[in-house]
Amino acid sequence: MEKKIVDTYKLNRISSLIAKEFGTIPKGEEDEEPYWQILFSIESNILRVHRKNNLFVGSRTIEAIKISLLILDGYIKGIEYDYSRFANEANQAFMQAILMSFDPFTNPEIKRKLKKDRYMPNVKEYFTLPIKCLLRIEKSIKLWSEDFGGNGYFQIIEETMGKGVKDNNKINFSIEEKKNIIKSFQMKLKL
Residue 168 has what pLDDT? Answer: 74
pLDDT at 18: 97
Q: Can you tell me the distance from the alpha carbon of 55 to that of 51, in angstroms, rounded to the nearest whole number?
A: 9
List the beta bridge partners of residue 79. 2
Tell me which residue of 40, 4, 61 sits closest to 174, measured CA to CA: 40
d(CA 43, CA 158): 10
Burial 168-188 (b: 16+ CB within 10 A, else e): eebbbbbbbeeeeebeeeeee
Distance CA 33, CA 91 (A): 28
> What's the structural domain count of the chain?
1
pLDDT for 27 equals 84
Structure letter (DSSP) for residue 151:
T
Cα separations (Å) of 99 from 144, 149, 174?
23, 25, 11
pLDDT per residue of the chain (191 residues) written in tens, 0 to 9: 899 999 999 999 999 999 999 999 988 887 777 888 899 999 999 999 999 887 788 999 999 999 999 999 999 999 999 999 999 999 999 999 999 999 999 999 888 888 877 666 789 989 999 999 999 999 999 999 999 999 999 999 999 998 888 877 777 888 766 554 555 666 555 55
pLDDT of residue 165: 87
Please report how many Cα atoms fall inside a 13 Å half-sphere around the Cα of residue 159, on the Cβ side. 6
C-alpha pair distances (Å), 154 with each of 48, 67, 92, 126, 159: 10, 20, 17, 28, 8
Residue 184's pLDDT is 61
Q: Is the pTM of this model over 0.85?
A: yes
CA distance 38 to 56: 22
Per-residue pLDDT, 7:
95
Q: Let me know: does 129 contact 42? Beta carbons within 8 Å.
A: no
Model pLDDT, residue 56 = 83
Parent domain of 34: 2-188
